[in-house]
Amino acid sequence: MTKEDLMEQIANMNKENSVCQIFIPGKGKFTIILQEEDHNSIASDVHANPTLKQMLKESVTAYHEGQSLSTVDLLISLSPKDFQK
């Protein structure tokens, strides 16, 4: 198999033809799986879900008003006794 053959096989992959097995001498057998890209972003999730939009707005407001901790501040505030039963 040449580089060009490999690139052609990859280029021809699609939703229906999503698995490609190849053998490279000296390396072994490889399985290439095409996974669809997830085009959803946080912005699209927020746009689609009014409840999530409200939760994020409240969270940002609380952060700006000093009513919440950053992850770093939370980790600094923890001690071993917080994890004891």
Q: What are the pLDDT digits (tens) for 60-84? A: 999 899 888 777 888 888 888 877 7
- Residues 10 and 3 sit within 8 Å (Cβ to Cβ): no
List, for residues 9-62, the tens digit of each pLDDT value: 899 998 888 999 988 788 888 999 998 766 677 888 888 899 999 999 998 999
Structure tokens at 40: 């959803």
User: Per-residue b/e over 8-31, b at no fewer than 16 CB within 10 Å?
Assistant: eeeeeeeeeeeeeeeeeeeeeeee
What is the Cα gyration radius of the chain?
24
The alpha carbon dihedral of 26, 31, 36, 41 has a sign of negative
Confidence of residue 85 (pLDDT cuts 50, 70, 90): low
- Residues 15 and 36 sit within 8 Å (Cβ to Cβ): yes
pTM here?
A: 0.41
